[in-house]
Amino acid sequence: MKIGFLQTRPVFGETGKNVEGAIKGLSRLEADLMVLPELFNSGYQFRDKAEARGLAEEIGEDIDRGPTVKRLIEAAGDLNMFIAAGLPERDGKKIYNSAVLVGPNGVSGHYRKAHLFAGEKKIFNKGDMPFTVQKIGKVRVGLMICFDWLFPEVTRTLALKGADIILHPSNLVLPNCPDSMPVRSLENRVFAVTANRVGTEERIAGESLTFIGKSQITGPTGRILHRAPRGRAASCVLEIDPRAARDKHITPANHVLKDRRTDLYEN
């Protein structure tokens, strides 16, 4: 299976251009599954809820669906690939920092960010959807978004539900995630694709955010299979064998899921 990411440099508010730029990047690659960054169509730093609402789109059902998801589905059909991507979602009065997994036949996965980071708490509603696993053929994938990396319960829940590959649209600003995802992969014996963005936004005076790039793919043994550079747009496609994520043994006597001592853990 060929999986990968696009590390993009979106321009805040230029939704149509950001979407077309990403699709152009995807069209140069041959892959089965690609991951785009968090909020890849809108940019990240909303000044207030009203601004986020104006850029947010409905994901819900076909009839109401916004232009970004429709365009991603069309591109997935043209390019014969699955695409995971983050975008601001509007659902009635609520706004979520969401991600979708789309394929040629439509939306097959939808997730709302559970762990909001810093100023996001003033803009978005907290995710209210369970962590779920979707099938692409025989391969099982699960979505999480950016700061969810800090909470090992997320990757663990997805692994317990059978995910072989974690799809991780991101807009990282702290330096720690690229060094943490190898551990998330190792402790769950899963692949993970983190797609980050680059560039700086300072749409709120004194609150400059520089996105760290370093998108990466990690494997079930904890190896970094590829890491993108820090300061520029980039892409990567790697051939992996997803079956490697089905062996949960770290030694013949140690199974990372069955050896858990849930009788001793705090909930």
Catalytic residue list contains 248 = no
| Catalytic residue selected from 38, 89, 120, 201 | 38
What is the C-alpha R_g of the chain? Answer: 17
Instruction: Return d(Cα 194, Cα 180) in angstroms, integer.
Output: 11
Q: Which is nearer to ligand ACM, 8 or 140 (CB)?
A: 8
Amino acid letter, 228: A
CB-based burial, 204-239: b 16+ in 10 Å, e otherwise: eeeeebebbbbbbbbbbeeeebbbbeeeebbbbbbe
Which residues, numbered 165-204, are part of the site for ligand ACM (CB under 6 A)? Answer: 171-173
- Contact assessment for residue 247 and residue 189, using Cβ atoms and an 8 Å cutoff: yes
Does 147 sit near ligand ACM (CB under 6 A)?
A: yes
Number of residues binding to ligand ACM, judged by CB under 6 A: 7
| Catalytic residue selected from 113, 120, 214, 236 | 113
Q: Which is nearer to ligand ACM, 144 or 245 (CB)?
A: 144
Q: Which is nearer to ligand ACM, 56 or 240 (CB)?
A: 56
Which residues, numbered 221-250, are part of the site for ligand ACM (CB under 6 A)? Answer: none
Instruction: Return d(Cα 79, Cα 92) in angstroms, integer.
Output: 32
- Write down the least CB distance from residue 216 to ligand ACM, Å: 15
Instruction: Return d(Cα 145, Cα 87) in angstroms, integer.
Output: 10
- Write down the least CB distance from residue 147 to ligand ACM, Å: 3
What dihedral do alpha carbons 88, 89, 92, 95 form, nearest 10°? -40
| Catalytic residue selected from 89, 146, 201, 214 | 146
Catalytic residue list contains 177 = no
Which residues, numbered 103-132, are part of the site for ligand ACM (CB under 6 A)? Answer: 117
Q: Which is nearer to ligand ACM, 31 or 100 (CB)?
A: 100
Strands 133-136 and 106-112: unpaired
Q: Using alpha carbons, select from 160, 234, 162 the residue that is nearest to residue 194.
A: 234
Q: How many CB atoms lie within 10 A of CB 27?
A: 12
- Write down the least CB distance from residue 39 to ligand ACM, Å: 8
Q: Using alpha carbons, select from 238, 234, 182, 185 the residue that is nearest to residue 211.
A: 234
Q: Which is nearer to ligand ACM, 82 or 117 (CB)?
A: 117
Catalytic residue list contains 94 = no
Binding site for ligand ACM (CB under 6 A): 38, 117, 146-147, 171-173
> Hey, which residues are catalytic here?
38, 113, 146
